[in-house]
Structure 1
Amino acid sequence: MEEQQITKKERWELKRQEKLERQENGAKSRLIKRFLLWALVLAGTAGLIFGMVKLGGSEPDQSAILINAVSPSDWTKGNKEAKVVLVEYSDFQCPACAYYYPLLKKLSQDFGDKVSFTYRHFPLRQHINARLAAYAAEAAGKQNKFWEMHDLIFENQTKWENRGDAEKVFKEFANSLDLNADLFKNDLDSKEIKDKVENDLQSGVKSQVNSTPTIFLNGKKIEVPPNYDELQNIINEAVKNNP
């Protein structure tokens, strides 16, 4: 009888040890998966920061020049008489453009009347809501709220980028800006606004734009750096050379 009880105890102890081993192996497996996940996140972040300008297309040709000079029909902020002129071709649905949006906004604030900043539309074919977003910004512009809508669209990109009812989101943005809802709705679908966006796009094609964001500084395409400090240095050099 005693021998049978010992056997049961041994069997119970063996099962307990097996259970502990399974738990330990499970913990190790979860730790490995977590490590791999963080490695992928870090790799993705690095790729986003250092590969920004390649998201929209191929490597920009730095020898390209701006064919269409800035005109009154462009959306420009800052000193329009400034000797340093920055023109950005951008896509509201482009992740890289959303990354550079706050950098360029800060540049505009930091350089004040020393630099003028112009925004032009370059909606990429693969971004299903990019044109509609451009139309929304232009429609807001008809009510003198282009830059306000521009900021809202970029700051809330994840809320509308892949939605089938993105127009509803843009109408909500318009409402938050106190725009006339009927005018906004009509302008959103107007030929005038669609032509404006298409003209921006074609002017970019003429200037060899093939990715977003693409930036021209005093008419010459520049390589877009991965951070604010490097971008600021480029602008500082341009300001220094154009007193």
Structure 2
Amino acid sequence: MKNPWLIIGVILFVLIGGSVWYATVVSKYNNEGVVLTEHLKGNLKATVTLTEYSDFQCPACAQFEPVVAELLAKYGDSISFEYKHFPLIQLHPVALPSAEASEAAAVQNKFWEMHDKLFENQEVWSKSPTPNKYFIQYAEEIGLDLKLFKQHLRSSLIKDKVQTEYKEALQLGFTSTPSFLLNGKKMNIATYQDFIEQVGNAVDPKVDLNAITKTAKPLVDDEETKNIASTTN
């Protein structure tokens, strides 16, 4: 192949019986056989966009996932949601390999399945001296071709993608995880309720927010993340 990069297009599919659209935006591939994707949920044509910069080893990120899931279940037709990587590598030693594991799963169209496994089992793999064995276990559980998964874990293209999103988060001025953009603007949130209300009001100022079950409480405060900007410069 003379040109190893190829713009492929957009693949959409709808979950049977539901109203939420899921999407895989296929961006490019190289001679490693790796296809990179953006990780989207919701309605790609929605006027409200929500982007999360997250770290699979971050406790606050794991606690935030049910909140995001509830919002998408309620407003899925009205929001375009994107997940991006912001592994706080100085603080979370397995954040980078877990991000790469999710991207290796994405090559086989199983990003969200691996995403869920990593957050649901964070307490297990993040404390293991051999986290890769758990990544491989989760890959098998979600039905991946293990030979390809292991091969893609070593992909330079995947490593570059995670690094690019990490640098993007720093350039936006983010210093902790999870961090969010709402309609392209940084969100300032102190509690789950702050987050719920800002997203709900962006969708519809008249919407009843009581249907979201999370009660207002402070977010998990990872003290170490406060100085991440200075340690990554």
TM-score (norm 1): 0.67
How far did 1:240 drift? Answer: 2.6
Matched, 1:83 2:50: no
Match of 1:114 in 2: 78
Aligned to 1:236, what secondary structure does the other structure show?
helix
Aligned to 2:134, what secondary structure does the other structure show?
helix
Match for residue 174 of structure 1 among 114, 139, 143: 139
How far did 1:230 drift? Answer: 3.7
CA contact (8 A) 1:128 1:162 kept: no
Match of 1:17 in 2: none
Match of 2:153 in 1: 188
Matched, 1:123 2:95: no
How far did 1:86 drift? Answer: 0.4
Question: RMSD between aligned alpha carbons?
Answer: 1.6
Instruction: Give the paired residue count.
Output: 171
CA contact (8 A) 1:140 1:184 kept: yes
Letter in 2 for 1:180: D
Match of 1:208 in 2: 173
CA contact (8 A) 1:140 1:146 kept: yes
CA distances 1:189-220 after superposition (whole Å, capped 9, x unpaired): 11011011001101111111111011110011
Aligned to 1:211, what secondary structure does the other structure show?
coil
Match of 1:149 in 2: 114
Aligned to 1:81, what secondary structure does the other structure show?
coil
Task: State the alpha-carbon separation in 2 of the partners of residues 196 and 224 from structure 1.
Answer: 27
How far did 1:232 drift? Answer: 2.4
Query: Pairwise mapping of residues 45-124 of structure 1 onto structure 2 (< 5 A)?
Result: 73-124=37-88
CA contact (8 A) 1:77 1:117 kept: yes
Task: State the alpha-carbon separation in 1 of the partners of residues 83 and 106 from structure 2.
Answer: 12
Match of 1:226 in 2: 191
Q: Indicate the structure with greater helix content.
A: 1
How far did 1:71 drift? Answer: 9.6
Structure 1, unpaired ranges of 5+: 1-69
Task: State the alpha-carbon separation in 1 of the partners of residues 176 and 70 from structure 2.
Answer: 22
Letter in 2 for 1:100: F
Distance 1:71 1:173, change over 3 A: closer
Task: State the alpha-carbon separation in 2 of the partners of residues 187 and 75 from structure 1.
Answer: 17
Letter in 2 for 1:80: L
> Matched residues, percent identical?
43
Structure 2, unpaired ranges of 5+: 1-24, 28-36, 206-233
CA contact (8 A) 2:57 2:95 kept: yes
Aligned to 1:209, what secondary structure does the other structure show?
coil
Task: State the alpha-carbon separation in 1 of the partners of residues 180 and 77 from structure 2.
Answer: 19
Match of 2:98 in 1: 133
CA contact (8 A) 1:123 1:131 kept: yes
Q: Indicate the structure with greater strand content.
A: 2
How far did 1:107 drift? Answer: 1.0
CA contact (8 A) 2:75 2:203 kept: no
Matched, 1:165 2:130: yes
